[in-house]
Amino acid sequence: MKKFLIAIVALMTSISFANAERFSIGVTVKGGVFEADGASEIFSGDHAGNRTSDKVTKNTADEGEDAEAAYAMGSIFLEAALTDKVSLGVNYVPHSMETETATNTQNIGNLPADPGSGEKVNTVSLSFEDLTTIYALINLNDSVYVKAGYLDVEVVTEETLATGGSYGNTSLDGYEIALGYSMDLADGMFARFEASYMDLDGATLTNKNDSTKSVKADGISGYGAGISIGKSF
């Protein structure tokens, strides 16, 4: 919510009430798929897998494929129309979006003298919090519009790792583009139907207990579709 308030202040300071033709508020329900590109766990230095100092990369998806997760979210938005063609807005998701918990078994060494060797279970889940988007909307005609915006989200990790420690949290930013259809309803109400694509920067997180271990994703992208209901003033 703090990010949303900051975004509103930034939006309102860039637009005076005198310059805006109208303001709109509304809610959006949206669903789609997130995809993590090149997700992997990296070991460097001596480690209990093969007792070597070489770097080892373990893909988190089978055969190096990108990891995917479905999502559903609700959001609220505030929008200011500068002209009949151009609007600026901010959209905020007030809840977290959690992925399913992924589980795999890892063979840690194979030495009888090593009490830490044997099969160990890794579990990890992610939650995306405070997803905030500041965007520009351009009406192509009375019904069809395009939208482009900057977004920021907090990524919170929860894991139990055979290699020990945890990887902590991070903040990611990126962009979103969308194509939509808008229809006017009674009493200043309107409905929108929208398809969108978002792209977030990649990140590398280092194990808090062991700096020789890290996880990374080259980038996170997402496809989605949603419906919005709003009111203009």
* Structural domains in the chain, sorted by start: 2-232 (2.40.160.20)
Q: What is the pLDDT of residue 119?
A: 67
Q: What is the pLDDT of residue 50?
A: 43
Q: What is the pLDDT of residue 218?
A: 72
Are residues 161 and 122 in contact, defined by beta-carbon separation less than 8 angstroms?
Answer: yes
Q: What is the pLDDT of residue 9?
A: 57
Q: Is the dihedral of CA 159, 163, 164, 166 positive or negative?
A: negative
Q: What is the pLDDT of residue 58?
A: 46
Q: What is the pLDDT of residue 66?
A: 58
Q: How far apart are CA 49 and CA 163, in angstroms?
A: 10
- Cα–Cα distances (Å) from 168 to 156, 158, 200, 210, in that order, read 7, 8, 18, 12
Q: What is the pLDDT of residue 204?
A: 77
- Extract the residue ranges of the chain whose pLDDT is less than 50: 45-65, 111-114
